[in-house]
Amino acid sequence: MKRILTVDLGNSAAKLVVWSLDAAPRPLLSLRWVPGQDARALRELDCPRALLSSVAAPSVRAELECALPMSLHVPECGLAIDLPEPDRLGRDRLFAARGALELCRRQANGNPPESSSAQALILDAGTALTVDALGSRGGEPAFLGGAIAPGPELLSRAVGRGAAQLFEVETRGLELERVPALGRSTREALESGIVHGLRGAARELVERIAQSAGLEQAPVFLCGGAAPLLHDARLFPGHALHLEPLLVHRGLLAADRASS
């Protein structure tokens, strides 16, 4: 069985996925690794190749590389970057956009994947909330830019540390149905501000960026740990909504396949 490992190394953790490549790429195993954590499971991974998207500090990347039994390769994303400082752009944003391009091409009726263009909005709700635009420049798929806002954890941290009588709340595991907008305690009010504030920010950013980039009818692709809080078509009227937890990983696979 042909296998490959994809690694999305973020600010606080890494998500690793082992894929079967015998037919269409199929995830076989997913692992989450936190810097400083026991890396025994990583050392046992059996893949000939590994692809990396990283926005982490060099020391964290070095720790991960020491733990893995194979070297890490960063493929070219295969997108034009219509920005004045392309080298400062986070790789996770680029590979998420590349993953959205791949999925759009698969959905295009009657067009071969290599030639069909795509438009999309990519919303990644992790440590940060990013909303990015995928379009075209000169007939080629292009990353057009986007917005970066705090994600749930950063929102909690900022409120808890910025006010003497407030505190941080645990954001992992928050569910929309269990967080009333009308908080009746300080904790409930903080949770409401984080969850419903995040939803409001995502809705406004998608609307504004879609208008700015001419993507008013483009599909929206959701990924990131807090994506379930935003998986609600009512937030993004006029846009088809797709929840794709492995979007960065699919972008890595697509980019590597195109460059090989």
Task: Write out the catalytic residue numbers.
Answer: 92
Helices in the chain by DSSP H: which ranges? 40-43, 58-67, 91-107, 152-162, 186-213, 247-259
CA pair distance 197, 151, nearest whole angstrom: 10
* Tally of CB atoms within 10 A around 14: 24
Phi, psi of 171 (to 5 degrees): -100, -20
214 DSSP 8-state letter: T
Closest to 223 measured CA to CA, from 105, 127, 81, 116:
127
Cα–Cα distance, 174 to 186 (Å, whole number): 16
Could you give the C-alpha distances from 228 to 109, 123, 244, in angstroms and in order?
A: 28, 12, 10
Gap between the Cα atoms of 244 and 220, Å rounded: 10
Instruction: Give the angle 149-152-158 at the CA atoms, nearest 5°.
Output: 75
β partners of residue 260: none
Maximum distance among all Cα pairs of the chain, rounded to whole angstroms: 60
Q: How many CA atoms lie within 13 A of 119 on its CB side?
A: 14
CB contact set of 44 (below 8 Å; sequence gap of 6+): none
